[in-house]
Amino acid sequence: MNTSALAKAVCVAVISLAAARVVADERQANAPPSLPERLEQKLKGDDKPFTLVIQIAIKPGAEEKFEAAAAKAAKASAGDEGCLTYEFNRNLEQPGHYVLVERWTGLAALRKHLDKPHTKQILAVFGELTTGPRKAEIFAPIGGKE
């Protein structure tokens, strides 16, 4: 390859990398907020109680592996400071569909939970066994307990 052809190839590679970076930056800028970001926006404070209801769809045939990991995560998470409830439930009418119900005393407690090894392990299982993105809904108690 002559010098001119090599220079052109390098230019094309640099331009391609730059374009890929722009596309990645645009995707990140347009990405929906993460769950902790959503919680911060809605709760406006670290000490307000909330409940998360997370819908999870598992690949066919992976239910047993998922349930074993979920039971382990639930047991460990229930002991986390500020955790009021951490419970996986199996949908009896739709195989492979689960819901995780989490109740926390506040966002500060959830942040600590997200740094724990057992949380990182169940998130890795989600990544491996789920069929798509999880749907998370945020709830706040009513009746003066907000």
Q: What is the pLDDT of residue 42?
A: 87
Query: Which has the minimum average pLDDT: 16-20, 102-106, 109-113?
Result: 16-20
Residue of 88, 41, 54, 43 lying closest to 69 (CA atoms): 88
Q: What are the structural domain ranges in the chain? A: 1-31, 35-139
Q: Is the four-CA dihedral 91, 96, 102, 107 of positive or negative sign?
A: negative
Terminal C-alpha separation, the chain: 70
Q: How confident is the model at residue 9 (pLDDT cuts 50, 70, 90)?
A: low
Tell me: pLDDT of 28 over 60.
Answer: no
What average pLDDT does range 109-116 have in this prediction? 95
126-143 residue pLDDT tens: 999 999 889 999 999 997
- Calculate what percentage of the chain has a pLDDT beyond 90: 63
pTM of the model: 0.75
Q: Domain 35-139 belongs to what topology?
A: Alpha-Beta Plaits (3.30.70)
DSSP letters, 80-112, are STTEEEEEEEE-SSSTTEEEEEEEES-HHHHHH
CA angle at 93 for the pair 90 and 97, rounded to the nearest 5°: 40
